[in-house]
Amino acid sequence: MIVVWLPRAIEQLLSIIDYISKDNPGVPIELAQTIRERADTLSTYPNAIVPGASRARANLL
């Protein structure tokens, strides 16, 4: 399985980074990297989910 970032997902990630960088300039880069790394693990573990969490959030945990 290949993880494909849709244009809307990329736009939303960039928007989040821009928003957070206004208060904490160093944090968004680390956050974006963590999100990308976690998303990339979906290719190895496509059914990874935390019980009780929303599907979108659980896949990032």
Q: How far apart are CA 21 and CA 18, in angstroms?
A: 5
Phi-psi region of 17 (alpha: psi -120 to 50; beta: other; left: phi over 0): alpha
**pTM to 2 decimals?**
0.62
Q: What is the pLDDT of residues 5-61, one digit of tens each?
A: 899 989 998 998 899 888 888 788 888 888 888 888 888 887 776 555 555 554 454
